[in-house]
Amino acid sequence: MTTGAGHIVLASEGRTAGVLGAPIRLISLGADTAGLMDVLEAEFPAGMNFAAHVHRNSDEAFYVLEGELLMRIGERNVPASPGAFGFAPRGVAHGFENRGAETAKILVWQTPAWGAERFVDALAQLRAGPPDMDQLLQIFQRFDFEPVS
């Protein structure tokens, strides 16, 4: 819990969970930031597509750490390599696709914090392989993830 003294998370810290075949590291959560933000590190194995979606209650920013992704924000789809940054205000569609042969990794900030750890934990409970779409959509609805085309 934040005490007003600040917060540091070292590279070896945070909790990692497997979500739909990809590791997500929970770096800093709302409890650490007085509800201001959630910070995650997400890996996208080769061929992984994280479909476009919107959030109605939070803004999201992304920074590519490794690899290359096709990043969609709004109507733009651009190849994003290390050092690329994107911002999707609430209500703006965003998603990622790794069309390359190597794993890609991004850092994600979501503000305000919205319970990313509960979302990640719910997704981690899904069976391996292609997810049951009904279960996946129920989780999305609970956590302000609205899929878009």
The structure tokens 């899929």 sit at: 147
Distance CA 46, CA 69 (A): 10
pTM for this predicted structure: 0.89
Which burial class, exposed, middle or buried, applies to 103 when counting CB atoms under 10 A from its CB (0-12, 13-18, 19+)? Answer: middle
DSSP state of 137: H
In this prediction, residues 125-138 reach a mean pLDDT of: 81
Confidence of residue 3 (pLDDT cuts 50, 70, 90): low
More confident residue, 73 or 127: 73
How far is Cα of residue 60 from the mean position of the Cα atoms in its chain?
9
Q: Which domains does the chain have, with CATH numbers?
A: 25-124 (2.60.120.10)
